[in-house]
Amino acid sequence: MTVDTPKVRSSIVPMAIVAMLFFVLGFATWLNGSLMPYLKQMLQLTPLQASLVVFSFYIAVTFTALPSAWLIRRVGYKNGMALGMVVMMLAGLLYIPAAQTQTFGLFLLAQLVIGAGQTLLQTAVNPYVVKIGPEETAAVRISIMGILNKTAGVVAPLVFTALIVSGFTAPVGTVLNAEQIDAMAASLVLPYLGLAVFLALLALAVKYSPLPELEKESDTGTGIDQLKAVLAKPALVLGVLSLFVYVAVEVIAGDTIGLFALSLGVERYTVMTSYTMACMVLGYILGIVLIPRVLSQQKALAVSAVLGLALTLAIVLGDSSSYLIANTLLVPFGGTALPDTLLFIAILGLANAIVWPAVWPLALSGLGALTSIGSALLIMGIAGGAFGPLFWGLASSTGLGQQGAYLVMLPCYAFILFYAIKGHKLTSWNNS
């Protein structure tokens, strides 16, 4: 699968469009970090119920990734991107009756639909970045797009807080009356209507843009034959599992930080995701600078996993009454005083940043005509985002509490470390 070389050389406008799509993906995805604790307070949800907000968003990947690949093979990558945004637009409209009726089930349905739309968009847009240049520098290109994606993750909670939370003044931890709940629900309507309109306009812009179409892949047999062929590739299969556990810890770090902050009485809990995303942006910038000049993609992946293991232990064993890090690094520069454990969760963004861009080229290496089906399977790894917060929510209901529940991340980082050291090198399931 290739792109016409002259078009690549004059691809500033097309790549700007792709960059915009990565920003949109990040904005839609990381709104969950603010929406989840907001709905928890508004609808008086338990931590486990609140985790279903994220579960519904990410579980859509499990049953829409392969159909997305099938659809893209027939309509093309460009049309696939436009259709993905149309589905996301429809989801944006669903939030309006959900808010007006204050029905938790409708919110979950809206999350499911927007998750399906972003899966289609992800399946279409990621191969562009992988295939637009040399394989050995693919992680750098994905990192550049990741900066935009995660910058949107910094912006989304701030926009959510400014447009939705700013007018709500009830103290954190108080029981809300009916009038306050109605005010919280009503504040969701106009922002989500605006999001739907924006997505509709962007879908039209992509449809009629000069974005070049990737060369169509030749048929290599039936869908079952193709699936069997890619499942025979250990590097791909283990890459899918690596992305599954990676997205699990990424979403735990990005989306549960607000819930944990709410439990600690932090007033501006809806902006906490911005801290994690800011650390991810820093990680992507480091990736661009260091890969492959100083670190190979594989070594960067291993370093990320080790850092994740260390931070997980720091979160679980840390003192939530200590503000040492914030008093040293944030407060002297006008920042907010936050517990050390919250900041350890945010710094996980730094550990997580390089995992996605490093795994993709390692997993897709040598797939050739099977790239689209391999890409769809890798996209299915995003389903880990459904189960990470869910397992965290289940663990937080035990004696571990919300802080101890972060232990669920340990085996995830251990598996990523295995993939970085050995898993990506396997060419056959018979390898020792």
Q: How would residue 8 be classed by pLDDT, with cut points 50, 70 and 90?
A: very low
Highest mean pLDDT among 23-32, 81-90, 333-342: 81-90
Yes or no: say if 349 and 257 are a contact pair by the CB < 8 Å rule.
no
How far apart, in Å, are the Cα atoms of 287 and each of 349, 375, 420?
13, 22, 15
Yes or no: say if 206 and 23 are a contact pair by the CB < 8 Å rule.
no
Higher pLDDT, 161 or 339: 339
Q: How many residues does the chain have?
A: 432
- pLDDT at position 130 is 67
Q: What is the mean pLDDT of residues 203-218?
A: 74
Q: How would residue 223 be classed by pLDDT, with cut points 50, 70 and 90?
A: low
- pLDDT at position 5 is 45
> For the ranges 147-151, 180-184, 213-217, which has the lowest average pLDDT?
213-217
Q: SS3 for the chain, per residue?
A: CCCCHHHHHCCHHHHHHHHHHHHHHHHHHHCHHHHHHHHHHHHCCCHHHHHHHHHHHHHHHHHHHHHHHHHHHHHCHHHHHHHHHHHHHHHHHHHHHHHHHCCHHHHHHHHHHHHHHHHHHHHHHHHHHHHCCCHHHHHHHHHHHHHHHHHHHHHHHHHHHHHHHCCCCCCCCCCCCHHHHHHHHHCCHHHHHHHHHHHHHHHHHHHCCCCCCCCCCCCCCCHHHHHHHHHCCHHHHHHHHHHHHHHHHHHHHHHHHHHHHHHCCCCCHHHHHHHHHHHHHHHHHHHHHHCCCCCCHHHHHHHHHHHHHHHHHHHHHCCCCCCHHHHHHCHHHCCCCCCHHHHHHHHHHHHHCCHHHHHHHHHHCCCHHHHHHHHHHHHHHHHHHHHHHHHHHHHHCCCCHHHHHHHHHHHHHHHHHHHHHCHHHCCCCCCC
* pLDDT tens for each residue of 337-390: 899 999 999 999 999 988 988 898 888 887 777 777 787 788 788 889 889 999
In the chain, the domains with their CATH numbers are: 5-214+222-425 (1.20.1250.20)
Yes or no: say if 61 and 113 are a contact pair by the CB < 8 Å rule.
no
- pLDDT at position 3 is 46
The answer on pLDDT for 212 being more than 80 is: no
- pLDDT at position 102 is 92
Q: What is the mean pLDDT of residues 268-296?
A: 86
- Collect all residues with Cβ–Cβ distance below 8 Å to 214 and sequence separation of at least 6: 1, 2, 3, 76, 77, 127, 128, 131
pTM score above 0.85:
no
Nearest CA to 401 among 264, 269, 202?
Answer: 264
- pLDDT at position 10 is 47
Q: What angle do CA 329, 332, 334 make, to 5 degrees?
A: 100
Helix 47-75, helix 384-396: angle, nearest 10: 170
- pLDDT at position 92 is 93
* pLDDT tens for each residue of 92-138: 999 999 999 999 999 999 999 999 998 899 888 877 776 666 666 66
The answer on pLDDT for 75 being more than 90 is: no
Torsional sign, CA 310, 315, 320, 325:
positive
Higher pLDDT, 430 or 317: 317
- pLDDT at position 217 is 55
Q: What phi-psi label fits residue 368: left (phi over 0), alpha (psi between -120 and 50 degrees) or beta?
A: left
The mean pLDDT of the chain is 85
* pLDDT tens for each residue of 166-200: 766 666 666 778 888 898 889 999 989 999 999 99
Higher pLDDT, 259 or 373: 259
- pLDDT at position 218 is 54
Cβ count within 10 A of residue 115: 29
* pLDDT tens for each residue of 387-407: 999 999 899 988 899 999 999
The percent of residues in the chain predicted with pLDDT above 90, rounded, is 33
Tokens standing for residue 50: 């609140």
- pLDDT at position 279 is 92
Yes or no: say if 275 and 330 are a contact pair by the CB < 8 Å rule.
no
